[in-house]
Structure 1
């Protein structure tokens, strides 16, 4: 893909914000928005992609996609600009967008019944038999004159019918297999417009950096779609390390991050403030909120929601007892089990939706969360199904039964697994010894599970402890660690 130099006030990387802002463009009108050719869209280092190149890239990829009979296209990208081009091109080509959350080869192959073709910027997936396109290779076939001459060949886009454009995301279901979540682009666009009404003035003119993936709904909204519609330049690559987050802090920069990253900043020092800090994906401790305020002069804006629901509520944890504030376009109540029930324009066309999160409803559209009632947990903002981890362990020839639980200590949250072994497993344990056997188990799981979903500690027992009803005795399991 073509990367142009864009105007910067200085050569310093932090001054990559545009000289002036542009009006907000709703998602359905984004590609026909009137913006200067040199207006910055996305950046990496000192270089950024401009509006004219963005329009040309989306147009040419959309034209190619229209020629292809495949309807359901999976998008798997590391580069957020590549992803954004593929997302908008597929939408304008009237395709069904599929966003796998896990790019591990075997996990992606397991999801292959959900898609007909793949757009990506990663090495070739040998496990897949469907067509695979790399967006950058496809666009590089266009000559510079074809791609970068808007004055003579201005791309022409129509208005998107967002309610007719489906999007499938994946999240861990209670059954242990990835659960497909069906949404429409209209639901995402409604949330983007709400966030702009709520926080747009605060973020005006800022650039967006992020530690979270665009493949999941929070990153998709906050680091891709909202910045695009609002005309805020976004970073092409993730920030991975705490020192990168510290180095990017500037008054013209907004950080989109997670509790897992913010918890790792407690020992850092920073003498510059972010414009704003957003956190979502899991509970943020008060200590981590205080660290953010100390480092960046910003209490993180926490956003509570899920893949299924989109955003539900927000808060800034200036005190440990601060409740969640329901977004003003959402109705909220609880069922008989005190689980939150909502009616939102961001899910199911405004029908009532039942969550699995217990809460205490307060006055003035506020609530206090009290925990989930199912077996999907969040570790470092990744949704992990304990049922799936157990199923993957039991697929191995060495494991007869498995019970997986969450282990917490002062430093980290991880998984532990209590196992009963097959005869083959017992023989392998004797042959390899404990240390090598645990390493072999972890290695065998890597084709299926993301790193945070692989148990870090194992215990072998003769039988899994059960009560008289055949239910697992969690206290007995926990005492094994």
Structure 2
């Protein structure tokens, strides 16, 4: 793959920094003991250096869900040390902060970054369908997936990898940081929050964009990348389902399809696809991964985890050629007053209405009482209706939209109307954040 001098210099500098920090961590481990640490840093570059150095020094690494005090404290319960950039919490952490004196040693300068081969990594899930939980992986799983990414996706020009997602979770960690290290691409460490930031970076050189459905939805409303689309070599989307409408719009605007990655923290990447028109587009498994039906659910065999098979909560139809089609999640089928309803089906019906761009239906519990809450991002027509006739009229309209398919007991009882759905740094909806809207 073509490389350039800027990449080589960046790689060599990072390799030397990893080497020096790893030596300091090894000394600390030998002197004071301990096998695990919590790692968080807002800077992607410093995070990568600390991650590789700690792993090469023999530490198992735990990633908190984010940099909030409570999440660092929760993750620290599994660790010997906390290795974070700053801590401003009002309470004392239960574990020692790791502070190192790193000596600049010329003999530590090396030219190549190598990926660790042993040790554990613990991720916390995003909490998109409930509260986050720890998921343990091993470097052998991570390396197997990185090798697959390198062989599956390649670009014939030197390019930079730009991400609009956090490096702290598995998608951003793999695609923004570790895959470029292995495959020889330059990483733009800046965390991109807005389309205008992305445009400023893309117009400078050939780029591959690592993003999410939420960011794509914002981008396509007034796509600032159209004039620099010749510089875009690839677009990847994960962290949630990208609607076919958004995928097709993006393709029409930029003449390049978003490569959607399907998977989870538990499974790693399972499959990929590009939707560029209204034809039904199935998912293609990554090399070495096979799927089958287990009752309604998708069952996965993969080198990315130790279990013989992982049964997902996704409802799927597996085709004769090994590709598959997804049609919702089994764990989003709930029972309300003895009536079963699938929340995915409710959302699909609501999003077919021209008042709603995106929405999420969640189950709200208060004691023994259960009811549905709707959080909807309204279209311009939706806001026009809201301004003209009020919330009560819009609530009734939404119930009429659903009444053709669903019984009265399945209707949402609480409604929140927003310009955009709230997402985290991965572009994913977080269940706890949605719940707070109804407090």
**Which bin holds the TM-score, normalised by the shorter protein?**
0.7 to 0.9
Note the alpha carbon deviations across 1:422-467, whole angstroms, 9 max, x for none.
Answer: xxxxxxxxxxxxxxxxxxxxxxxxxxx97972446438xxxxxxxx
Aligned counterpart for 1:154 among listed residues 109, 113, 133: 109
The CA deviation string for residues 338-388 of structure 1, in whole angstroms up to 9 with x for no partner, is 100011111226x21111111111232211111112259999xxxx9968x
1:130 pairs, out of 95, 110, 132, with 95
Distance in 2 between residues matched to 1:271 and 1:204, nearest whole Å: 20
After superposition, residues 404-443 of structure 1 pair within 5 angstroms as: 405-411=373-379
Q: Does 1:231 align with 2:184?
A: yes
TM (norm. structure 1) is 0.66
| CA distance, structure 1, for counterparts of residue 286 and residue 276 of structure 2 | 19
Q: Distance in 1 between matches of 2:361 and 2:221?
A: 31
The yes-or-no answer on 1:322 pairing with 2:281 is yes
Q: 2:317 aligns to what SS in structure 1?
A: strand
**Aligned-partner SS, 2:235:** strand
- Measured after TM superposition, the shift of residue 173 of structure 1 is 6.9
* Preserved CA contact (<8 Å) 2:16 2:111: no
Name the SS of the counterpart of 1:52 in structure 2: helix
Q: 2:74 pairs with 85, 110, 127, which one? A: 110
Equivalent in the alignment of 1:40: 7
Structure 2 counterpart of 1:476: none
Could you tell me how far apart the structure 2 residues matched to 1:280 and 1:175 are?
16
Contact 1:209/1:254, CA 8 A, preserved across alignment: yes
* Alpha-carbon distance change, 178 to 153 in structure 1, aligned in 2, over 3 angstroms: closer
Q: Partner residue of 1:245?
A: 198
Aligned-pair distance for 1:116? 1.9
Question: Which segments of 5 or more consecutive residues in structure 2 lack a partner in the other structure?
Answer: 334-342, 348-359, 381-428
Match of 2:3 among 21, 40, 43: 21
- Equivalent position of 2:426 in the other structure: none
- Equivalent residue runs for 1:87-236 within 5 Å: 87-127=51-91, 128-133=93-98, 138=100, 142=103, 146=104, 149=106, 152-155=107-110, 162=117, 164-171=118-125, 176-200=130-154, 202=155, 204-236=157-189
The question of whether the paired residues in 1 share the 8 Å contact of 2:19 and 2:109 is answered with no
Name 1:335's counterpart in structure 2.
294
**Count of residue pairs brought into register by the alignment:** 358
> CA separation in 2, counterparts of 1:109 and 1:404?
32
Task: Measure the CA separation in 2 of the matches of 1:87 and 1:176.
Answer: 28
Q: CA shift at 1:192, angstroms?
A: 0.8
1:372 corresponds to which of 321, 324, 329: 329
Match of 1:50, SS state, is: helix
Distance in structure 2 (CA, Å) of the matches to 1:316 and 1:275 = 14
Task: Pick closer, same or farther for the CA change 1:196–1:57 going to 2, 3 Å.
Answer: same
